[in-house]
């Protein structure tokens, strides 16, 4: 089941009748102890009666050679679950590639923050067995699709789960942007940049720029300026189904970033369009998972409270 443009995020807490059979294991292979952690998890999943395959780049970079390997397209065709070990950045990179296949994903947190990789590495032996047997909460997260247009031609295209960010160049001053929403002029804005963030990305760069935290079930985006020249330029929440167009009016060396993992250079007159992607991300959580628990833990709210 995939999220539509009008239903970007929904949680369904329930026990599902069928268990998983073939799981792909994907890891952040740059991290310390990754070989040990991934190999231990692979052995554990095998002991649960699952067929286990390692994503090809993960296997090559960790040296784990005693399990079959699959590329991302093969995961989409052959596997009914992906377990991702790492931080949110790892999940973002993998999620964009797997979203179109509709493969559900479980995140095991090997990083520090972990808003969408919510199972602690040391807890997976207790948490995963009921999930693998079909007892989990499912959440559908909407994504964005962005294009860069130059003189009538699309010169770059990428999807994003967190955000699309237009930034000024490192050696230049502010950039000037013309912003339209659904073909309606909104503003000309001078700033260090502009962020279009999904609810998932509202706890990332947009939050640092003063934007609100948006619950993932809200069908909206945050449009947040980065250090605007005019302080009345404030973050605004837009409907999920809108199209945002950002035109580079003035500014040398501007760039567009997509989840801070892919980047392209921009020229004066370039237009960046952002709209809802056709596919979304399926995240699985342990039964009883709650977004507010995640916020409280990760943002250290009320640490002294009972």
- Give the active site residue among 33, 66, 80, 88: 88
106 beta partners: 83
Q: How far apart are CA 69 and CA 75, in angstroms?
A: 10
| Structure tokens that stand for 56 in this block | 């090809």
Region label for 291, one of left (φ > 0), alpha (ψ between -120 and 50) or beta (otherwise): alpha
Q: According to the model, what pLDDT value does residue 8 have? A: 53
With 0.75 as the threshold, say if the pTM is over it.
Answer: yes
Domains with residue ranges and CATH for the chain: 11-142+280-298 (3.40.50.10330), 144-276 (2.60.200.30)
How far is the CA of 237 from the CAs of 137, 141, 218, 241, 269, in angstroms? 27, 17, 10, 12, 26
Tokens of 113: 């923050």
pLDDT in tens, 267-282: 999 999 999 999 999 9
Using only the alpha carbons of the chain, give its radius of gyration.
20
What pLDDT sits at residue 100? Answer: 92
Q: Which long-range contacts (CB under 8 A, 24 or more apart) does 120-123 make?
A: 121/37, 121/85
At residue 298, the pLDDT reads 87
Whether 300 shows a pLDDT value over 90: the answer reads no
Q: Give the CA dihedral 89, 169, 227, 300, nearest 10 degrees.
A: 20
> How confident is the model over 57-100, as pLDDT tens digits?
999 988 999 999 999 889 999 999 999 998 888 899 999 999 99
SS3 117: coil
More confident residue, 75 or 9: 75
Q: Provide the β-strand partners of residue 273.
A: 147, 245
Q: What is the mean pLDDT of the chain?
A: 90
Identify whether the C-beta of residue 137 lies closer than 8 Å to the C-beta of residue 284.
Answer: yes
Q: For 184-213, what is each residue's pLDDT tens digit?
A: 999 999 999 999 999 999 999 999 999 999
**217 closest CA partner among 295, 299, 301, 142:** 142
Nearest-CA neighbor of 166 among 80, 256, 236?
A: 256
Residue 250, classed as helix, strand or coil, is: strand
Predicted local confidence at residue 17, as pLDDT:
46
**What pLDDT, on the 0 to 100 scale, is given for residue 237?**
97
Mean of pLDDT values over 278-288: 94
Q: Is 71 labeled as catalytic in the residue annotation?
A: no
CB under 8 A, 24+ apart: contacts of 234-238: 234/210, 235/206, 235/209, 235/210, 235/211, 237/212, 238/181
Percent of the chain scoring above 90 in pLDDT: 77
User: How many Cβ atoms from other residues are within 10 Å of residue 178's Cβ?
Assistant: 16
Please list, residue by residue across 279-296, b when 16 or more beta carbons sit within 10 angstroms of its beta carbon and e when fewer do: bbbbbbbbeebebeebee
């Amino acid at each position: 089941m995939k999220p539509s443009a009008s239903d970007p995020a929904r949680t369904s807490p329930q026990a599902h009748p069928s268990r998983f059979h073939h799981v792909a294991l994907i890891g952040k292979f740059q991290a310390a102890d990754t070989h040990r952690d991934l190999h231990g998890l692979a052995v554990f999943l095998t002991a649960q009666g699952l067929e286990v395959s390692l994503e090809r780049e993960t296997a090559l970079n960790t040296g784990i050679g005693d399990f079959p390997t699959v590329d991302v397209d093969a995961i989409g065709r052959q596997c009914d679950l992906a377990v991702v070990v790492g931080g949110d950045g790892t999940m973002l990179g993998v999620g964009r590639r797997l979203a179109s296949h509709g493969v559900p994903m479980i995140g095991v947190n090997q990083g520090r923050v972990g808003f969408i990789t919510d199972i602690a590495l040391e807890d997976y032996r207790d948490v995963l067995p009921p999930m693998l047997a079909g007892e989990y909460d499912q959440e559908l997260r909407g994504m964005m699709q962005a294009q860069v247009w130059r003189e009538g031609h699309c010169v770059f295209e990428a999807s994003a789960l967190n955000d699309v960010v237009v930034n000024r160049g490192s050696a230049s001053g502010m950039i000037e942007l013309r912003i339209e929403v659904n073909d309606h002029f909104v503003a000309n804005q001078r700033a260090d940049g502009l962020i279009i963030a999904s609810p998932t990305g509202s706890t990332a760069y947009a939050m640092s720029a003063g934007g609100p935290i948006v619950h993932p079930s809200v069908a909206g985006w945050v449009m947040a300026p980065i250090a605007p020249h005019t302080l009345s330029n404030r973050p605004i929440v837009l409907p999920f189904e809108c199209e945002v167009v950002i035109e580079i009016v003035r500014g040398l060396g501007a760039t567009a970033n997509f989840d801070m993992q892919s980047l392209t250079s921009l020229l004066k007159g370039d237009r960046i369009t952002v709209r809802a992607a056709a596919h979304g991300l399926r995240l699985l959580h342990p039964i009883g998972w709650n977004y507010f628990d995640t916020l409280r833990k990760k943002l250290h709210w009320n640490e002294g409270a009972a």
